[in-house]
Amino acid sequence: MTSKQPQPLAPRVVRQLRRTRSVYAAGIALWGIGATLEVWQRPGSHQMWVFLLFLTVFTGLLVVTSWWLWRHQDALRVVRREARVAGARR
């Protein structure tokens, strides 16, 4: 039977996910501004729907990345604690 506990991620992977999360947040801000301007100027246009599609995609990516980091947060704490204990023994 497999464990319900997620496998710990490498610290390098966590750093990369955090950087990626900030890129997704910037994408949401830019696509949100673009969608707002497009809705204001030309509501119902093709470009407006493209802006909203990209806004939805970036929001989904941010949610998935944040959820993934949150899910692995406990496993990462255990790895850090074990590394501190192992470092103190040396």
Residue 8 and residue 78 in contact, taking contact as beta carbons nearer than 8 Å: yes
What pLDDT, on a 0 to 100 scale, did the predictor assign at position 59? 97
Q: Which two tokens stand for residue 39?
A: 């809705």
Distance CA 24, CA 83 (A): 31
**Identity of residue 24:** Y
Segment 40-88, tens digit of pLDDT: 999 999 999 999 999 999 999 999 999 988 888 776 676 667 667 766 6
**pTM for the whole thing?**
0.71
Residue that is written with structure tokens 């192992």 in the block: 86
